[in-house]
Amino acid sequence: MKRRTFIGTSAVATVGVLAYQTTNAQEVKQDIEFKLKNNINHSVCHWCFADIPLEDFLIKLNELNIKAVDLMGPKEWPLLKKFNIHSAMCNGAEINLTEGFNDPEYHETLIDNYTKMIPLVAAAGYTNLICFSGNRRGMDDETGLQNCATALKKLMPLAEKHGVVIQMELFNQRNHPDYMGDTSAWGIELCKQIGSENFKLLFDIYHMQIQEGDIIQSIKDNHHYFGHYHTAGVPGRHEINETQELYYPAIMKAILDTGYKGYVAQEFIPASTEKIEALKQGFLICDV
């Protein structure tokens, strides 16, 4: 899935024993001692590193002892299994980011897609399957919410039977103008309307920082509605180091304090030319 295109620049930090050590160079140091505590279950979105072939990327994840990758569909699952990498967030049932469950025009297609995909996800040994609200296109939020609930409720018995959790990702309006699922409050109300533990929100920290802020409090108050987390730096969607406004160690601690046992996926676009080293830095910063 081609996710997004972003243009931006940011200074890039080296990675030493201290994750936030800075440098004047625009490269990330390559002699890092990489050892994780793994209190956080780490994952990563390959689309951010798409210039690295997937097989090469999975080999590198094995070298780093990273056990999961996000946003993989049935075509990629055999390769993941070859390298013993888990699909922490599956995709492939959605139409696209803008044509989603809020519009009844797409319900027949989406219900058919997800009805076919849910058993495949379960049979492959995976749990999470992404979905999207779609764009408003003049529709009010309450109508869109009810439309989403109507369609998704039809999928819940199948999801519950197979132990699959459908997760709707929240986006911000700057990067995804007109997208309906743009606040945690809207998504939480949808969860309440659906009333199943097999529907959750994919809480993208980057998007929600831009859209509404107050990230740690949101996690503390609403974590039982959040089934998965994505990271990236604000501004620019680059590295989650000292060049941006979020302090990810505190955010990760807040996530752990809720008892969360799922995955946290790096979804930043590296500004550094040393992309794997930047990724290692991201894992270390989140490895509280």
- DSSP-H helix ranges across 34-162: 54-64, 77-82, 107-123, 141-162
Q: Note the CATH architecture for domain 41-286.
A: Alpha-Beta Barrel (3.20)
Q: What is the rounded distance in angstroms from the CA atom of residue 51 to the CA atom of residue 123?
A: 30
Residues 184 and 171 sit within 8 Å (Cβ to Cβ): no
- The DSSP call for residue 57 is H
Q: Which amino acid is at 135?
A: N
pLDDT in tens, 102-133: 999 999 999 999 999 999 999 999 999 999 99
Among the listed residues 164, 180, 173, 176, the one whose alpha carbon sits nearest the alpha carbon of residue 130: 164
Q: DSSP H helical segments within 7-140, as ranges?
A: 54-64, 77-82, 107-123
Q: Kindly tell me if the per-residue pLDDT of 228 is higher than 50.
A: yes
| Token duo for residue 34 | 């990489």
SS3 assignment, position 194: helix
More confident residue, 92 or 12: 92
Q: What is the pLDDT of residues 16-70, one digit of tens each?
A: 333 333 333 344 444 557 889 989 999 999 999 999 999 999 999 999 999 999 9
Rounded to two decimals, the pTM is 0.88
